[in-house]
Structure 1
């Protein structure tokens, strides 16, 4: 009597492992693609949240202003009060009331946007700001004579970038 041994041959094992490898590679690529998409969506939502917070904070603090005191260009660190064009800024100072009013300052240091209220210390608003572009309103007016500003803030987190735009008119400008 002969007994047949049952088992797996080496060829059967190699074929089974090849099939398993093909199935796992398809499944893993699906999961990695979904993970990357989820990561991008999370970054986009984070920028959306930060952008809304920044734009609302700036609107709340600029709208009650009387005049633009200082606009410093990011390229040459010079005051651009007399300019009447769109510029990328490093610093924006607003006078709150007509005479002796409190001064508010927004300053871009690297990617961090900081806020200074009077003589108080700085308060970091956001740390993912790539650029702030300011335009006087109405157009063709200088910043010192403008009744408002158009502000465009670009936020960037890794490779995700979002832009937020708002027009802010100085409420106290009309109270002369």
Structure 2
């Protein structure tokens, strides 16, 4: 069942044909480097203007905007934790990012969603640890809710792609 509803690809999240893409944003929501900068550039200046009105976002939370020039109708912005060694609630905050994104997707009737590897870039969260959290939170969501039909993890690098495949096999999501 889950195998048909979860996918892992290596690619560019800004070109995904899904209802919503998730932005690994900073607290300001006003753009930055990595995924955040790429999404803001692809969506156009209207995204920046809408984000200015949101008054930022707390770490572990998420907010939603329109997708503007992106193929996705929505962008769900979430602020992942900066890795500080694992003793500052980083795991809980990252899990909260995925939960909040899925809750916003459900609330906005989003059926297909694409996630980047939140916090694993410049924020330094260990990739395998972050991947386990991401996949676990999606599975937990599906145990109580089936409104989201497809989740795609979009990996920017070959290493992230291979890590997601490895973790999903270990957890039993893929063969």
Task: Settle same-fold status: TM greater than 0.5.
Answer: no
TM-score range, shorter chain: under 0.3
Look at both structures and tell me which one has the larger radius of gyration over its CA atoms: 1
Q: By percentage of residues, which structure has more strand?
A: 1
| TM-score when normalising by structure 2 | 0.27
More relative contact order, 1 or 2 (CA 8 Å, 6+ apart)? 2
* TM-score between the two structures when normalised by the length of structure 1: 0.27
